[in-house]
């Protein structure tokens, strides 16, 4: 399958958020990526429900919501009601991951799990068939604009092998952090299906062209 591009709104201009949302609508990108941070699970606070509600009013593409928060189960139905199409939780934040994934799917969303750079892919073996998406963090979560961790290529290949072994080849692998034109093709070649790009799109001189370069190769 062709890969998908999900520009991360964490890198957008929040003083001109509607403009940047409409830019993504008009671009070759496929999804919006929304990072929700609580200042506890990660050392930063991004945005919450009111901002997501405003984004959803203008977005014409699926909303890929990444919860970097503790106890995400409390908000599953809330994000479904706000229009999330994909809801990703961190394995490190979920005591009962299988139950959480089941609740996400029951709420009508695709279920994703994110792994921090230090977390091995093996932790997902027992829930592989419950996954619609795995988000591999290629930077330490919490802030945009960080340098890409080179180990991510090997981790992507390992994740793809595990999903195939466990009978879940349709599950998407998403890479989040430090993605740009210099590594996008290598990540797709390693098995990635979804590329999250923040600074490399929104802070490019020509964002539409940047999005096209990352989406179309």
* Tens-digit pLDDT profile for residues 135-189: 999 998 766 667 899 999 999 999 999 999 999 999 999 999 999 999 999 999 9
pTM over 0.75: yes
* Main-chain dihedrals φ then ψ at residue 195, nearest 5 degrees: -115, 120
Per-residue tokens: 66: 């990444």
68 — pLDDT class (breaks 50, 70, 90): very high
Mark whether 13 is an active-site residue.
no
Residue of 13, 20, 35, 64 marked active site = 35
Output the CA angle 191-149-70, nearest 5 degrees: 90
Residue of 13, 132, 176, 189 marked active site = 176
Mark whether 81 is an active-site residue.
no
Name all domains of the chain by residue range, CATH numbers in brackets.
Answer: 4-215 (3.20.20.70)
């Amino acid at each position: 399958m062709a890969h998908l591009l999900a520009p991360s709104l964490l890198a957008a201009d929040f003083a001109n958020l509607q403009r940047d949302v409409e830019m993504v609508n008009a671009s070759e990108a496929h999804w919006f990526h929304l990072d929700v941070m609580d200042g506890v699970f990660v050392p930063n606070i991004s945005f919450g429900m009111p901002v997501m509600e405003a984004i959803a009013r203008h977005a014409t593409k699926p909303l890929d919501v990444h919860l970097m928060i503790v106890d995400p189960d409390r908000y599953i139905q809330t994000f479904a009601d706000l229009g999330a199409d994909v809801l990703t939780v961190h394995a490190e934040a979920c005591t009962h991951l299988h139950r959480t994934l089941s609740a996400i799917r029951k709420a009508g969303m695709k279920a994703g799990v994110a792994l921090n750079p230090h977390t091995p892919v093996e932790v997902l073996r027992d829930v592989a068939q419950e996954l619609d998406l795995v988000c591999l963090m290629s930077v330490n979560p919490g802030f945009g604009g960080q340098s890409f961790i080179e180990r991510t290529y090997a981790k992507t290949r390992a994740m793809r092998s595990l999903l195939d072994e466990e009978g879940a080849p349709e599950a998407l692998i998403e890479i989040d952090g430090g993605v740009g034109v210099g590594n996008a093709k290598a990540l797709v070649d390693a098995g990635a299906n979804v590329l999250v790009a923040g600074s490399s799109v929104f802070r490019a001189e020509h964002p539409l062209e940047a999005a096209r370069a990352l989406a179309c190769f």
